[in-house]
Amino acid sequence: MADRILNPTHAGGYGQAGPALVDSGDLASPGIPHTPTAIEAIDLVKDYGRGDGAVHALRGVNIRFGKGRFTAIMGPSGSGKSTLMHTLAGLDGTTGGRIIFDGADITRLNDRQLTLLRRRQIGFIFQSFNLLPMFTAEQNIIMPLTLAGNKPDRAWFDMLVDTLGLRERLGHRPNELSGGQQQRVAIARALISKPSIVFADEPTGNLDSLSSAEVLSFLKQSVRELGQTVIMVTHDAVAASYADRAIVFADGRIVADQADPSAEAMSQLLVHEAEGAGNALRSGQALGAGSRTRHAQSPAHGLRAQG
């Protein structure tokens, strides 16, 4: 039933719980089970500024995210994780490359087309919640629909509210809610329009461990039971272990791609990456190339260099 409530329009998206299927051998990494593509970046480049002062936030990223999969993105501060999320979600422009979503290159859309795409297809959960302080939890949750002039699907609203444990808090304003409750409101808001993809940028960054576990369990449940596609940035190896796949970023590039990440494997990998980066800096090497070479010898199970 949840299937139908969730998204009658997503052919083959929702309801595809459980592991799939064949490994197609295309841009998906070996060992990462293949599902139809939710969104794909091809040679994605993002510079901030120009000339000598330019920051190269994304240096030619190639990545395919499968439908109905939960992917974690990890890596040091400033490595380009948020930039990747913002460009994929159409919140920020690109410098080069393509982003293929639903068979079309969204880097070619104009502002109005992007706004509609975001409104209909994309949910974004911000680290800082970004709730509107003068509105109640309920008004915040349905805000994307209000802005679009649409009415909420009541059954879907109720299911989100009950699953996220927000029923008793609907009439409260954000400053009357705990951090975990605010983040759960932000999650409900991201899901209320039944987006094809949910992007979550450190959704547990401001939460205590209990609230974090609640939020992560809900995201995992929405992937497992409802076939939602979730892409989540996190600094926390335990949070990453809720995902089906974890990607590690360094200096604007993907340096590792791990299937079924355990917290231990990801911790090891991040330490390894940080030590490698330190060594590369001390010896004056470029970060990206050094990182990729090291990954070929990494002990972490299932590790793949990519990008």
Task: Determine if 291 is a binding residue for ligand ATP (CB under 6 A).
Answer: no
How far, in Å, CA of 51 to CA of 17, rounded? 47
**Total residues interacting with ligand ATP, rule: CB under 6 A:** 11
- Interface map 22-51 toward ligand ATP (x if CB under 6 A): --------------------------x---
Distance, C-alpha 286 to centroid of its chain: 27
Buried b (16+ CB within 10 A) or exposed e, 257-284: bbbbbbeebbbbbbebbeebbeebeeee
User: CB–CB of 212/239 below 8 Å?
Assistant: yes
User: Which CB atom, from 48 or from 155, has the smaller least distance to ligand ATP?
Assistant: 48
Q: Return phi, psi of residue 47, to 5°.
A: -110, 140
Of the candidate residues 33, 36, 78, 179, the single one contacting ligand ATP (CB under 6 A): 78
Minimum separation from the CB atom of position 224 to ligand ATP (A): 27
Task: Determine if 82 is a binding residue for Mg ion (CB under 5 A).
Answer: yes
How far, in Å, CA of 70 to CA of 223, rounded? 6
Of the candidate residues 29, 35, 71, 79, the single one contacting ligand ATP (CB under 6 A): 79
How far, in Å, CA of 129 to CA of 203, rounded? 8
User: Which CB atom, from 15 or from 205, has the smaller least distance to Mg ion?
Assistant: 205
* Bond into 21 cis (ω within 30): yes
- Interface map 54-73 toward ligand ATP (x if CB under 6 A): -x-x----------------
User: Which CB atom, from 71 or from 82, has the smaller least distance to ligand ATP?
Assistant: 82
Extract the runs of DSSP E, i.e. beta strands, from the chain.
37-48, 55-66, 70-74, 96-101, 104-105, 122-125, 197-201, 229-233, 245-250, 253-259, 303-304
The piece of 80-88, 118-126, 152-160, 219-227 that touches Mg ion (CB under 5 A) is 80-88
- Say which DSSP state 269 is in: H
Minimum separation from the CB atom of position 57 to Mg ion (A): 10
- Residue 78 site contact among Mg ion, ligand ATP, none (CB < 5 to 8 Å, cut-off depends on kind): ligand ATP
- Interface map 80-99 toward ligand ATP (x if CB under 6 A): xxxx----------------
Minimum separation from the CB atom of position 82 to Mg ion (A): 3
Q: Return phi, psi of residue 88, to 5°.
A: -60, -35
How far, in Å, CA of 130 to CA of 199, rounded? 14
The SS3 assignment for 215 reads helix
DSSP alpha helix (H) spans, 142-285: 143-148, 154-163, 179-191, 209-224, 237-240, 263-282
Minimum separation from the CB atom of position 143 to Mg ion (A): 23
Minimum separation from the CB atom of position 223 to ligand ATP (A): 22
- Interface map 31-70 toward Mg ion (x if CB under 5 A): ----------------------------------------
Residue ranges binding Mg ion (CB under 5 A): 82
Residue ranges binding ligand ATP (CB under 6 A): 48, 55, 57, 75, 77-83
